[in-house]
Amino acid sequence: LRSVITIDGPSASGKGTVAALVARELGFHYLDSGALYRLAALYALREGVSWEDENQVARLAAQLPAAFHDDKVWLDGHDVSAAIRAEDIGMGASRIAALPSVRAALLERQRAYQQTPGLVADGRDMGSVVFPRAELKVFLTASAEERAARRYKQLIAKGESANLLQIQQDICDRDARDAARSVAPLRQEPDARLLDTSALTIDQAVNQVLQWFRE
Ligand code: C5P
């Protein structure tokens, strides 16, 4: 039996953290689909391919030399775990994610994560496009202010400089682009459960997902 739990939602909502913990709790595999879009954006940048060039970016995405192991993300044998988290790469990921052939190029790679005993997948279109028959679909969100505040704290904790208003603006821009695109726009599926984590701890959010799954 290969169960699938999808967790979709806007940027910086905490879905990655929650999805990884739910996967660990259940002993399931974990797919961070946003990392694939970030890797494709970074790969294009490093190969000198413009984020606007749909055919070339799709070609790179189809042959992405990416791997996930030892808690790190690898591109062509290099540890790019930190590099793919940069704000400009997040913005680049959101740009190339609006290109239909780039999404198509990454589709089968994502589906291949559906392995025994199960999978927790997080992203924007996990429940709508990639795993439409998932057993449990969650739409995880939080207020824009709360999401910006969380991202701000993360950056400060890493010793990086951060500007709260700029972060909030970037998050809003990215959400607007993700929701407005014609392919796989960010939205709550009719059969997805809404989990607003604005006032929840990580543990509370994880437990809610586990409880829904076990119902
Ligand atoms: O989730 P994360 O912030 O890492 O995703 C980066 C970008 O990749 C998002 O802003 C979104 O445009 C895109 N993405 C997507 N579909 C997914 C996951 C991410 O379009 N399933």
**Cβ of residue 93 lying under 6 Å from some atom of ligand 1:** yes
Identify the H or E element spanning 75: strand 72-75
pLDDT, residue 1, reads: 52
Average pLDDT, consecutive stretches of 10 residues, N- to C-terminus, the chain (215 residues): 90 94 97 97 98 98 95 96 92 95 97 96 96 97 94 89 92 91 91 96 97 96
**Ligand 1 atom closest to 94 (CA):** 12
Q: Which amino acid, one-letter code, is at 60?
A: L
pLDDT, residue 49, reads: 98
Q: Give the pair of three-digit tokens for residue 5.
A: 């739990």
Tell me the CA–centroid distance for residue 91 and ligand 1, in Å.
Answer: 9
Q: How many helices (H) and strands (E) does the chain have?
A: 8, 8
Residue from 132, 88, 91 nearest 110 by CA: 132
Radius of gyration (Cα) for the chain, nearest Å? 16
- Domain boundaries of the chain, sorted by first residue: 3-206
Q: Which of 124, 128, 154, 174 for a ligand 1 pocket mutation test, highest count of atoms within 8 Å of Cβ? A: 124
pLDDT, residue 160, reads: 86
The CATH architecture one would assign to domain 3-206 is 3-Layer(aba) Sandwich (3.40)
| 3-state class (DSSP) for residue 67 | strand
Tell me the CA–centroid distance for residue 82 and ligand 1, in Å.
Answer: 16
**Ligand 1 atom closest to 90 (CA):** 6
Nearest-CA residue for atom 19 of ligand 1 = 34
**Cβ of residue 128 lying under 6 Å from some atom of ligand 1:** no
